[in-house]
Structure formats: structure tokens, C-alpha cells
Structure 1
């Protein structure tokens, strides 16, 4: 995927986000450490989560969720000899949904699960195809969040090591 193609994906996600109702939009700036096998790298994300909607007649709510992210490269000699190295930093643009269970005020309602589809600008040993799945399990307070995130192509292309990260975020609402 070229930078131009990645830029198009990022622009499409930005336009989709702009077309969503901006009232009750939550923005999070997240940072943490990402691991491929046992090799760490820094990671950062900017995420926008929009107004929740009831999922049918269930106790679940869902919110549109878009992200722009960055995972730093690594200098690991054992991986640079293959087709998929690890030196390049990876930028990604993702979109999907964030799910919550329960009524506002319930002790477990701040827990969430998010599923997104992402486009990346560089393939690596951990992220070997240009399209990835992003799964996040987290907890959000009014101005703070913590999350465990895994990014992988779901076995659609080998190698499929994936990136697993712990993130801490600061949030604000518009």
C-alpha cells in the first residue's frame, strides 16, 4: 500500500467521522507499549467515539469508533533478513464500533469492547497485510481510559504475529 493509498483511507475515515453527529463526541489520546513476540515498541493513537445508540432491545449500546494510530519500528537483526522486517514504523487508520453493556451508572458499564478494521501504510513481520483487525478491551472514565489492544490480520496472510499493546488514554468530550 502506498502512502497515497493510505492517505485516501485516512481521508475517508475522517470524512465518515465528520459526517457523524459531533454532539457527544469523545476524543481520546492514547499512548503505551506494543509488543510483537517479546519485542516492545512505543505506540500512540487518537480515537474518536461518537454518541451511543441502543442495539435493538438489548442492554448493549454501540458507538461509531474511528482511530488514527502509530506503532514505532524496532531494530531486531533476526527479523530484518526476511521479506517482512520490523524497522519501519506503522501508521494506521481504523473504523468500527465500541460496545458497552448496561445502563449508565451500572458499575460495569465503563467496560467496553471495540472492533475495528484498519488500513496500514507499511507491512511488517507483525502486521503482514495492508488490512488488519483491531480488537480492544478497555475501561473508560470521564477523562481517562486504559485498554489492551490487539492488531492482527486474523490469519488471512502469513506471518501473523500481530501487535498486542497496553494503552493509557486521556479523554475529553466536545
Structure 2
């Protein structure tokens, strides 16, 4: 297994991060378990969330959100000889994290994020190099929990996707 794609992804994440406003950056280290067709694999993410901005005149805020992730491969037999789940997948994603409410509201720590991602391998679960990443979670000052789904949205078959539960530690810069 070559580390070259992961190194390229890390450099791309560093460039994207450098181009975003450096104010109020929140970094999260997340780990958990991902499932595709009832088969599990370990997963890890490094995520950077930047200063929230109001979304028009609403009570919603949005913040730029970039992440670098890793999903371990798994030896699962498939009927498709072109795609397997044996390869680990590195992904680089960028999008936005949304919150509702004012600071101090009990529900304000809940968030939803949408990102577009590129991957280094096509697998049975992630059968194209471009993916959609949807996350529903809760964040405290130094802790987060999230449910995340990565899929190509049916743009290419097979499209089983990866669904994961993540726990993270966070720190602000």
C-alpha cells in the first residue's frame, strides 16, 4: 500500500486550510467504526472547522469545514470483480457545517454538515473517486460525536456507501 495518495491529500488539506480564514479554527481528531453491507472497518478523520458566519437573516450559521479521512479496507467477497472493499480509502473533503440557534441554546451544539470529497481508491462501497459526505453530530468544547455517511449519491454503481459512528476530541486555535 502506497502512502503517496495520503501524503498528497494531506498537502491538499494543508493548502485548503491555509486559504481559509485563520480565525477561530477548531480542529477535531475523530475515530470510530464504519460499516458497509454489515461489514465493519476502523476509520479516522482530522477535521478543521472555521469561524461560523450568519446565514442571511436566519438563526442558522455556517462554517467552512475541511477534513482528511481514512477508512480501513476489509476482506469481503463481492459478486463484482471490478470493485472490492480490500483497499483502504483516504479521502479529502470540503464543505460547510451548519448550526441553528444562539450560543447558549441547548440545541445549538447540534450540527449538520455537507461536504464534497475525493478519494484515492474506488471500492465496492465507494465506487467513484468523488463522494458526498453528510454528517449529523453534537459538539462540546473539547468533544464531539457524529454519524457520518459517505456515498456517491447513486452517480455510479455499485453504491453501497460507508456509514460510520465517530467520537472526537477537539481543540481551538
**TM-score, normalized by length of structure 1?**
0.93
- Number of residue-to-residue matches in the alignment: 172
**Contact persistence 2:13–2:68 (CA under 8 A):** no
2:142 match: 143
**Contact persistence 1:6–1:119 (CA under 8 A):** no
* 152-161 or 12-21, which deviates more: 12-21
- Structure 2: unaligned runs, 5 residues or longer: none
- Structure 1: unaligned runs, 5 residues or longer: none
1:66 match: 66
Give per-residue Cα distances to partners, 1:26-51, cap 9 Å, x unaligned: 00000000000100000000000000
**Contact persistence 2:89–2:121 (CA under 8 A):** yes
- What does residue range 27-42 of structure 1 map to in structure 2 within 5 Å? 27-42=27-42
Provide the aligned C-alpha RMSD in A: 1.8
**Contact persistence 1:33–1:165 (CA under 8 A):** yes
**TM-score, normalized by length of structure 2?**
0.93
For residues 87 and 129 of structure 2, what CA distance do their matches in structure 1 show?
14
**Contact persistence 2:30–2:169 (CA under 8 A):** yes
Give per-residue Cα distances to partners, 1:63-92, cap 9 Å, x unaligned: 00000000000012x227621011100000
